[in-house]
Amino acid sequence: GEDVEQSLFLSVREGDSSVINCTYTDSSSTYLYWYKQEPGAGLQLLTYIFSNMDMKQDQRLTVLLNKKDKHLSLRIADTQTGDSAIYFCAETPGGGSYIPTFGRGTSLIVHP
Amino acid sequence: KAGVTQTPRYLIKTRGQQVTLSCSPISGHRSVSWYQQTPGQGLQFLFEYFSETQRNKGNFPGRFSGRQFSNSRSEMNVSTLELGDSALYLCASSLGRNSFNEQFFGPGTRLTVL
């Protein structure tokens, strides 16, 4: 089946930028998503990008998509301790299938 | 506007039993999706309901079923529970079907199977 890969951990200093990376295998992906999950909570959709775009910016968040390399990244500017959470990358394929595939999640640890 | 609510928040069952989880979507949302989250398999899509009909289904055995009522509330049922069914079950709602780019998630139901 299709696969979405992420690194497991990322540690940054408060105020720095964080970059979380994701690769996927499905060349027919239509939408790619970033979710945030805080301890004991459900998922929060942070942002998404349509596959015909290569960049999307939303306040402190910047999503970059390299469709040729099937690589997606999420950059968080001026990272704060409140950004500490698990971040999931996900994709929904095209071709009439809307079943999302998620990565295993990247734990972002922000230290002072 | 109230968010997505899931009941119960925690549940302990034994192998072989069955369980029913409930999800109340945001008012006006007609689509409800269910997900299973485990340390081993990560986040996996179970199914999506829209207008009381199952629209999409993930790769789970028939022991996992669901339904949606006319008020858009949804229930998920797992029969003949196995130890591997221990997981956080998340429900998400959206206005329309296949609208994964506008989903809102509930806090989840933590199911433990002993």
Q: Which residues in chain A have Cβ-Cβ distances shorter than 8 Å to B29? A: none
pLDDT of residue B71: 95
pLDDT in tens, A34-77: 999 998 888 999 999 988 889 999 999 999 999 999 999 999 99
Number of C-alpha atoms within 13 angstroms, CB side, residue A10? Answer: 25
Residue B3 pLDDT more than 70? yes
Predicted confidence (pLDDT) at residue B33 exceeds the cutoff of 90: yes
Instruction: Name the residue type at position B39.
Output: P
Distances in Å between the Cα of B19 and the Cα atoms of A66, B15, B27, B90, B113 are: 43, 11, 25, 15, 10
Nearest by Cα to B44 from A90, A26, A44: A90
The answer, yes or no, to whether residue B90 has pLDDT greater than 90, is: yes
- Is residue A42 classed exposed, middle or buried when 0-12, 13-18 and 19+ CB atoms within 10 A define those classes? buried
- Between CA A5 and CA A77, with CA A85 as vertex, the angle to 5 degrees is 85
Q: Which residue would you say has higher pLDDT here, B49 or A94?
A: B49
Mean pLDDT of B82-109: 89
CB contacts, 8 Å: A90 with chain B: 43, 100
B108 and A31 within 8 Å at the Cβ level: the answer is no
Distance from CA of A18 to the nearest CA of B (A): 23
**Residue A33 near chain B (CB below 8 Å):** yes
What does the pLDDT read at residue A98? Answer: 73
Cβ–Cβ of A33/B43 closer than 8 Å?
Answer: no
Distance from the Cα of B80 to chain A's closest Cα (Å) equals 25
Query: pLDDT at position B56, please?
Result: 87
What is the arithmetic mean of pLDDT over A74-86?
96
Torsion region of B112: left, alpha or beta (phi above 0 gives left; psi -120 to 50 gives alpha): beta
List the single residue in B with minimal CA-CA distance to A100: B45
Give the nearest partner residue to A88 out of B43, B56, B100, using CB atoms.
B43
Q: Is the pLDDT of residue B1 over 70?
A: no
* Spatial CA neighbour of A2 closest among A106, A104, A105, A100: A100
Query: B24 pLDDT band (50/70/90 cuts)?
Result: very high
User: How distant is the Cα of A10 from the closest Cα of chain B, in angstroms?
Assistant: 18
Interface test with B, best of A45, A87, A88, A106 (most B CBs within 10 A): A45
Nearest to B98 among A40, A90, A98 (CB): A98
